[in-house]
Amino acid sequence: MAHGRQGGLRRIVLRLLKRIAHLRRNGEAPGVACPRQLRPRPVLLPERQKAIPPTSSASAETHHGRTVVLPAVGRQRLKDRSGTIGPCAEPLRLRTVRFASIFSRTGKGMPKLPKLHIGRRLPSLQVLVPILAAGLVLATAVAVSTTVASHQQQTGIDEAVRAVGAVVHGYVDPLLARASLDDPIDPQLASSVNGQLQQLTGGDRLLRIKIWRPDGTVVFSDLPDLRGHRFAVSDELAEALHGDTATEITAPNAAENIYERGIAPLVLEIYMPISGASGVGPIGAYEVYQDAGPLQAGIDTTRRDVLLIVGALGLVLLALLWGAFRGANRLLSDLAGRLRRSEARFRSLVQNSTDLVLLVDADGTTRYVSPAIGAILGEPSEAWADRSLPDLVHPEDGDWMRAALARLAADPSGTHSGEVRVRHADGRWRWLEVVGTNLLTDAEVGGIVLNCRDVTERRELEDQLRRQAFTDPLTGLPNRALLLDRLAHDLAARATEEVAGGVLAVALVDLDDVKTINDSLGHAAGDRLLVEVAERLQRELAPPDTVARLGGDEFALLLHGGSREAIDAAIAGLLRRVREPLLLDGQSVSPSASVGIAFPDRSERSAEETLRNADVAMHTAKMLGKGRSAIYAPHMREAAVRRLSMREDLAQALEREELTIHYQPILDLASGEVIAVEALARWERPSGLVGPTEFIPIAEETGLIVPIGRWVLETACREIRSLDHSQPGRELRVSVNVSAVQLGRDDFANEVSTVLHETGLAPGRLILELTESLLLERSEPTLASMRRIRQLGVRLAIDDFGTGYSSLSYLPELPVDMLKIDRSFVAGLDSGRETLAVVRSIIRLAATLGLVTLAEGIERPEQAARLRTIGAELGQGYYFARPLTTPQLATYLAGDASEAAGAAG
């Protein structure tokens, strides 16, 4: 019956296929392909009604004796390959005919009916991909579970081998150590071994133990029936007899296992070699049977669990991937939107950045200019479009720019930086720091990117400090350094006869009674006096003459004249101009000055020597009385003799204990707390008290600064350490000045370490002050000594910062902790904005570098308040306290500051 049904169905299908082929040959579309639900409902007309002509918009067919009219609305005609159009209300789609099995043979050679799926589409990718992926996941799960099960099986077998080996080697090997497995077997040995084997198989783990000879004879066994029987040597036994260990999991139903049938459904057979006493090779082999049921059960459980877990995880992952696939279009759309927004943000960042961004070609032609050019240079971006960048910078910087672009273009991964000047729209030149990156090989950029930052303020600050290095901050006159430079130039020109004829003179002008004015009217009045005298001297001189302020109340004049008489007359006129009265705080003051003049001859080469001669002459004039002048003469070298006398006395000062130390407190400007003191050496000479400014230069010249400096350092550390007992918990720091001679010594760092160790002062409580001029050379020995001292934990400070010129670019390289603002800046805070701006810039610079600022020479509360306002951290000066002896300092720290200060005064 089944064969009959199959044959009838097959005939129907074959007939249908022939019909489809016939229709295709005749250019007709098979009606079976038109879906029933899309067919137009036929309209039945009576037979007597005439058929609609073929040209009408409707078509007619005969249906069971009636004429069927198909409406033309929505009717379409479908062309097949032959071009014939068939009627259908929807485009006629012939579904793919799929054969599940073509003529697969069954039964007596009869072909199996092909399965035709007419009118159904093949599954789309959205269906096929999940199905294939699910199959792949399941296949992977099966593979993983099989691999894990195999690994677990091998691990279990290895553990069983180790356990069995431990048992037989521990209990049986000692019995066989000195025996032989060859016949005849010692009965006592046989009894011992067999008994031991029976004991070992008494548990649940070991089911059977056999000991084989190489010929296949069972020599010993826990089962008496096996003893002496000979069997064929199996592959596993052969491996053991050759020295290897072999294992096999099997059911005990083999011919040689006739005695083991029924002991367990599944056993693990372990074959292990037995080593002889001679160690030549195996003399036999163990065969141990162990119940493999628990091992196999664990393996099956693991395989099932891994299959379920991996399959479940894979299906979950597949579901997630399917969800991701379904949301791909939405995600891509979101990503495209984000990309557009990201590009907009990047464009906004570049356009609104305060840094100027340029994109240039290798030859320097600009391709892109960011809008920041308007804020930096006051120019629109279009003004720089397609321009040569080297032509837009300062003429002196054009060559550097061309060379920098060439270096960048030659280095694909290079980055170069520098500073150039570019003209602002208002005509001024602005300094730009340029950092260039080569992105010529970047397909998205294809050029050199230049990031430009306006550093005009920093350059102006450097220029200001440079001017400060050669300019007196109070009067604006050239300082000693600039005067010596000009004097050296003039002396060199005279020596090479570049200047024909004429007389060159250097005059030192020292104002009299300035100290009296400072004490009576205040230092502000004294400063105004100095400024007025400077202006008078400037008005009386003209280039190439120079007037400079050397410091304090000393001025220097570099004069050029036709004769000595002309210069004498000019100096006399200057003195008369200086002596003109002026009003200071409502009081009329007529300043006077002592002048020393030196006329260097053509053989003189040293500017310092010439200035020193003028200084000798000036001191000679002072000894003659106020308002006098003197011309240097060789006999004035008697001053050098006096200095020699002072030098000899200084050599004995340490032995005579004539040196003492006074301490000037250093306060936290914010809290008013005394946190440190500066140690100031004093020489109590029999002829009178000598300050450090007088004898320290002599000590440096003679080399006495080394023992004196060691004494000052050791004494200061010891005395400050002794104050800890009277001031518990304060831990006062002490600042000690160090000369260039000391710092240049190789053993200076060791000397500092020794002093700290001997006095017990913590390294962090010691501050060593170095003059800025000492750091100008930046010699490697000096820097190395500073680094070694810094490694000890001792702090370093730059004294008189701003009075010498040191490039800011080298300041971060110095291992210093503090900048001491020179007293000249503090004194000039109220004289103008320029000094205030310099002090503020120094404080900001120190804050940027993480350095502490200390202002010295504070003498008025207004100065302290102003410094505190602009950010200075520490301060010292007569406003807080004069230098104190150790007992006075102890009293000052104890709170009786007024009594201590009065005693010091």
pLDDT tens across 657-701, in order?
889 999 999 999 999 999 999 999 999 888 888 888 778 877 876
Q: Report whether pLDDT(898) > 50.
A: no
- Confidence band of 881 (pLDDT split at 50, 70, 90): very high
Q: Report whether pLDDT(717) > 90.
A: yes
Look at the alpha carbons of 776, 780, 785, 790 in this order and tell me if their dihedral is positive or negative.
positive
Comparing 557 with 53, the larger pLDDT belongs to 557
Q: Report whether pLDDT(66) > 90.
A: no
- Confidence band of 748 (pLDDT split at 50, 70, 90): very high
pLDDT-wise least confident of 417-426, 459-468, 546-555: 459-468
Mean pLDDT of 458-478: 85
- Confidence band of 816 (pLDDT split at 50, 70, 90): very high
pLDDT tens across 552-567, in order?
889 999 998 878 888 8
Paired with 357 in beta bridges are 451
Q: Report whether pLDDT(67) > 60.
A: no
Asked if residues 544 and 529 have their Cβ atoms less than 8 Å apart, the reply is no
pLDDT-wise least confident of 188-202, 211-225, 565-579, 738-752: 188-202
How far is it, in rounded angstroms, from Cα 755 to Cα 769?
17
* Amino acid at the residue 381: S
> How do the residues of the chain divide into helix, strand and coil, expressed in percent and rounded to 5?
45, 20, 30
- Confidence band of 595 (pLDDT split at 50, 70, 90): very high
How far is it, in rounded angstroms, from Cα 19 to Cα 52?
29
* 838, two tokens: 């310099």
Rounded to 5 degrees, what are φ and ψ at 383?
-65, -25
Comparing 789 with 13, the larger pLDDT belongs to 789
Comparing 261 with 59, the larger pLDDT belongs to 261
Q: Report whether pLDDT(591) > 80.
A: yes
Give the CATH number of domain 657-904: 3.20.20.450
Q: What is the pLDDT of residue 98?
A: 37
Q: What is the pLDDT of residue 775?
A: 63
How far is it, in rounded angstroms, from Cα 736 to Cα 678?
6
pLDDT-wise least confident of 221-235, 332-346, 575-589, 701-715: 332-346
How far is it, in rounded angstroms, from Cα 460 to Cα 9?
103
**Sequence-separated (6 or more) residues with CB below 8 Å from residue 362:** 405, 409, 440, 448
DSSP per-residue codes, 261-272: TTS-SSEEEEEE
Q: Which CATH superfamily is domain 349-454 in?
A: PAS domain (3.30.450.20)
Q: Verify cis geometry, omega within 30 degrees of 0, for the bond prior to 187.
A: no
Asked if residues 40 and 88 have their Cβ atoms less than 8 Å apart, the reply is no
Q: What is the pLDDT of residue 23?
A: 53
How far is it, in rounded angstroms, from Cα 221 to Cα 232?
17
Comparing 191 with 95, the larger pLDDT belongs to 191
Mean pLDDT of 872-900: 84
How far is it, in rounded angstroms, from Cα 614 to Cα 619?
9
Asked if residues 607 and 488 have their Cβ atoms less than 8 Å apart, the reply is yes
Residues forming CATH 3.20.20.450 domain(s) in the chain: 657-904
Pick from 825, 881, 894: which is nearest to 854 by CA? 825
How many helices and strands in the chain, by DSSP H and E?
A: 27, 33
pLDDT tens across 292-320, in order?
888 888 888 988 888 888 888 888 887 88
* 539, two tokens: 């008005």
The domain 469-632 is placed in CATH, from the list 3.30.70.270, 3.90.1580.10, 1.10.1200.10, 3.60.21.70, at 3.30.70.270
Q: What is the pLDDT of residue 194?
A: 85
The pTM of the full predicted model, rounded to 2 decimals, is 0.38
Check if CATH label 3.30.70.100 holds for domain 172-291: no
* Amino acid at the residue 484: L
Q: What is the pLDDT of residue 297?
A: 84
pLDDT tens across 354-391, in order?
788 889 998 889 998 888 888 888 888 888 888 998 99
Mean pLDDT of 340-347: 69
Q: What is the pLDDT of residue 540?
A: 86
Axis-axis angle for helices 328-352, 293-326 (nearest 10): 60
Asked if residues 592 and 579 have their Cβ atoms less than 8 Å apart, the reply is yes
Asked if residues 666 and 875 have their Cβ atoms less than 8 Å apart, the reply is yes
Identify the helix (H) or strand (E) that includes residue 469: helix 456-470
How far is it, in rounded angstroms, from Cα 413 to Cα 407?
11
Q: What is the pLDDT of residue 126?
A: 66
* Amino acid at the residue 21: A
Q: What is the pLDDT of residue 62?
A: 43
pLDDT-wise least confident of 252-256, 296-300, 749-753: 252-256
Mean pLDDT of 891-897: 75
Comparing 606 with 776, the larger pLDDT belongs to 606
Taking CA atoms, 805 is separated from 2, 460, 612, in Å, by 115, 14, 23
Residues forming CATH 3.30.70.270 domain(s) in the chain: 469-632
Q: What is the pLDDT of residue 514?
A: 81
Mean pLDDT of 507-535: 86
Q: Report whether pLDDT(249) > 80.
A: yes
3-state secondary structure of 493: helix
DSSP per-residue codes, 499-562: S-S-EEEEEEEEESSHHHHHHHH-HHHHHHHHHHHHHHHHHH--TT-EEEEEETTEEEEEEEES
Share of the chain above pLDDT 70, in %: 79
Q: What is the pLDDT of residue 869?
A: 92
Asked if residues 249 and 270 have their Cβ atoms less than 8 Å apart, the reply is no
**Residue 718 CA neighbour count, 13 Å, CB half:** 11
Q: Report whether pLDDT(266) > 60.
A: yes
Residues forming CATH 3.30.450.20 domain(s) in the chain: 172-291, 349-454
User: What's the gap between Cα 492 and its chain centre?
Assistant: 52
Residue 708 is classified by DSSP as H
pLDDT-wise least confident of 4-18, 69-83, 134-148: 69-83
Mean pLDDT rounded to a whole number for the chain: 79
Taking CA atoms, 29 is separated from 94, 125, 260, in Å, by 9, 29, 77
Asked if residues 744 and 780 have their Cβ atoms less than 8 Å apart, the reply is no
